[in-house]
Amino acid sequence: MWRYGSAGDATITKPLNIAIAGCGIAGMATALLLARDGHRITVFERFDQPRPIGSGLILQPTGLAVLDQLGLADAAIASGQRIDRLIGLAGSRVVLDVRYSFLRRIAAFGIGIHRSALFALLHDQLEPAGVSVVTAREIRGIERRDGGAWLCFAQGGADGPFDLVVDSLGTRSTLAPQVGRDLRYGALWTNVSLTDGFDPNALSQRYHRASVMAGVLPIGAPAGSSAMEAALFWSLRACDHAEWIERGLDHWKEAVHALWPQTSPLLDQIRTADALTFARYAHKTLHQPVGDRLIHIGDSWHSASPQLGQGANMALLDAYAVARGLRVSDELSGALMQAAAMRRTHVRLYQVLTAVLTPVYQSDSRLIPLVRDWLMGPASKVWPLTSLQGALVAGLVGTPLRRLGIDFALRQRRG
């Protein structure tokens, strides 16, 4: 039921009545930013109880900068684990070695964090900020009538009118045209207790060609515990997932152990296949994220392989752009276009980079990983490529914070 058109040239009468579609990281951050600017915010969630989906992620300096605008950066840092390095080996060869210190700038680390911890950090702020959350509402489309936008639900009925709808429903949003393509490779994810033998301040990966990749990301201790956990992931073609289930857990453990024997204590903690979640990925970029009283953010606008680890961070930047656009413009369509313009260069750049780099680590090619292991790996240890890699991983290529007018420093923060 999506359609695009002009939002008109009406002057914004504040506060606006705004609907946020989706109670994920992007939706909650947008809701908090807009509520603190005085707008009336309602978040619609399809589940009976909002909950995080996924295992762990790295908050980059970009995402931390937005959380800082919400006064939540220090809490996020305390909830996660400082990451100083990304290290990847193919056999005994180091083919990826990215250190935040190579940046030689203030933003000098990432934070590995449970998705559940980040979710709770944002969710706990909604009620104090005056944000209303409506659950068990699966959105099937949007209509424009009575001078506003109405959300239509799969259960029947509609809610509105809203001055603005922010779509944060994700890659397969029912409010956005379905563009792009599903990626051939996905990944199995689970959380385990981190054992000795792993760098607690590094994302560690192992590769066999480009068709097999395993990773261990320290993500801090869950609430009420002092035991550090890690997200364990394993790349898998989507078409092979059914076969993976049929072959059983032990067969998979043997494959992981053969690639990376040090993971045995982690594998021993996994008792059933249900402990692992298979995530599918898509590469999608909307040509125009702005419609009539509508803006798409996060994966609803741009989704990609998680190779550069930018999904949640890009979504947080989008959320801030929406808030800033509404602050600096007195006209709705102009505010939305300004929000998109502040993000478009950074989004396009990282969508291209992800598309180019994904086959290097997830593909069936035999030639590409040879080039990676024997040429790219050694070359990447030489300045200025060391600094460039650090900036890529940190999400700072394309100066996204400057475009949003955010001045953020990590130097005084403990990490």
Per the domain annotation, does 26 fall within a domain? yes
Rounded distance, CA 401 to CA 348, Å?
15
**pLDDT for the residue numbered 3:** 30
Asked if residue 220 is part of any domain, the answer here is no
- 46, part of any domain: yes
**Per-residue pLDDT reduced to its tens digit, 181-228:** 999 999 999 999 999 999 999 999 999 999 999 999 999 987 777 789
Residues with Cβ < 8 Å from 305, sequence gap 6 or more?
183, 185, 281, 283, 354, 358, 362
77 domain residue, yes or no: no
Looking up residue 121, the CATH number of its domain turns out to be 3.50.50.60
pLDDT in tens, 21-32: 999 999 999 999
Which two tokens mark 412?
């005084």
What ranges in 235-310 are assigned the alpha helix state H?
241-247, 249-259, 264-267
The residues of the chain scoring below 70 in pLDDT are: 1-13, 104-107, 409-415
> Has residue 240 been placed in a domain?
no
pTM metric for this prediction = 0.94
Angle between helices 311-328 and 61-69 (to 10 degrees): 40
Residue 285 — left, alpha, or beta (φ > 0 → left; ψ -120 to 50 → alpha)? Answer: beta
Q: What is the pLDDT of residue 403?
A: 95
Residues 203 and 162: beta-carbon distance below 8 Å: no
Cβ neighbours around 64 below 10 Å, total: 25
In a domain, 122, yes or no: yes
Residue 234 lies in a domain: no
DSSP 374: I
Structure tokens given for 129: 């900020």
Contact 256, 267 (CB under 8 A): yes
Q: Could you tell me if residue 63 is inside a domain?
A: no
| Domain total in the chain | 1
Range of the domain at 40: 17-53+116-181+284-396
Q: What is the DSSP string of 200-260?
A: TTEEEEEEETTTEEEEEEEEEPPTT--S-EEEEEEEEEGGGHHHHHHH-HHHHHHHHHHH-
CB of 279 closer than 8 Å to CB of 172: no
